[in-house]
Amino acid sequence: MKICHSCGGKISKQFLHAALIASTLLSLITCTKTRQPGSVSVAIQKLKTKDYAVCIAEIDRVLAAGQESAVAHVRRAYCRSATGDVDGAIADYSAAIAFSPKNPASFNNRGAERMRNKDLDGAVADFTTALELNPQYAEAVRNLGTAQRLNGNLQEALAEYSRAIELDPSNARGYFDRGVTRIEAGDGAGGLADLNNAIERDPKSAAMYAARADAYRQQDKDDAALGDFTQAIEFEPRNPGPLYRRGCLYYDRRAWKEALADFAKAIQIDPNDQTYARIRTALVHLRLNEMDEGKESLRHCPLDQRKYRTTGQRASQLS
């Protein structure tokens, strides 16, 4: 079994955040059926064009004028979340809940933001409340499963994902989440079957192809993994995760030129968060006896990462 020190966890988080945004948009679309004041209408248009700063400013004007509503707070929460203001999003969802305490979507979305903030207990409480209000809310069931997974409760997470699939069998994300959790729990075959089902339902998801590539790697099916990593990169060429992990596959195959190319692209895309790519690059240069190039790559790594081991070598040999 090949285990690659990678940003595989990031893939899931990115997918989770995308799913959060999609579910929030669905609740926003539902809210737009009611007539809104002028500034809120402007905010809606800016939200559709992803002009989040203007959207927030327009809603600030509405709230400052005393026109508070659950809808206004939900819209601003979405914009704040999209700009990375998780605390602000949580505050707005809390305000929306105060106006409309029977709306399960606000609890679900606040729970997802709390999960992003690593407040897993708060997230579980919100998802549980959402399901008390609507037991058929598949998105909240999936999110509850993810919170359980992040808490290390893999069997509880699998049970929630299975329930979500029963509620919404056409949704790829339920199979994706259960698949990666099954793999994490040691059920590689079951995980791969779920990822196949996920890709059948969403054949253009880079995250799903990258996850299935990881599953193939664990089963020593490197040719299949290479194909899936390449497909993921074609769908999302600016995502450094699949590039790094394909580079690791090339590394294990001693395809040094290809490995260096993938690591270099990953570093170029995200130069501040590619320590492992830099270390792998240093190790390739070590194997090629290119000491100066290896030292240059290692120079950019945090000191506490320089003793990283792979294939019996120390990157610290270069320092």
Residue 250 to residue 260: CA distance in whole angstroms: 9
**How far apart are alpha carbons 168 and 140 in whole angstroms?**
12
Helix, strand counts (H, E) of the chain = 17, 2
The confidence score (pLDDT) of residue 54 equals 86
Query: What sign for the dihedral angle of Cα 112, 113, 118, 124?
Result: negative
Give the separation between CA 187 and CA 131, rounded to whole angstroms.
28
Distance CA 211, CA 220 (A): 14
What 3-state class would DSSP assign to 202? coil
Chain center to CA of 191: 18
pLDDT at 303: 53
Burial of 49 (0-12, 13-18, 19+ CB in 10 A): exposed
Whole-angstrom distance, CA of residue 199 vs CA of residue 205: 7
Helix, strand or coil for residue 182?
Answer: helix
Nearest by Cα to 266 from 252, 286, 280, 285: 280
Residue type, 247: G
pLDDT tens string, the chain, 319 residues long: the values are 454 544 444 444 555 555 555 555 555 544 444 444 445 555 555 556 678 888 898 889 888 888 888 989 999 999 999 999 999 999 999 999 999 999 999 999 999 999 999 999 999 999 999 999 999 999 999 999 999 999 999 999 999 999 999 999 999 999 999 999 999 999 999 999 999 999 999 999 999 999 999 999 999 999 999 999 999 999 999 999 999 999 999 999 999 999 999 999 999 999 988 889 999 999 999 999 999 888 888 887 765 554 444 433 444 454 4
Q: Which residue pairs, CB below 8 angstroms and at least 24 apart, start in 291-298?
A: 291/318, 294/318, 295/319
The Cα–Cα gap between 49 and 68 comes to 23
Whether 230 and 246 have beta carbons less than 8 Å apart is answered as yes
Domains of the chain in sequence order:
238-319 (1.25.40.10)
Calculate the dihedral angle through the C-alpha atoms of 125, 146, 243, 247, rounding to the nearest 10 degrees: 120
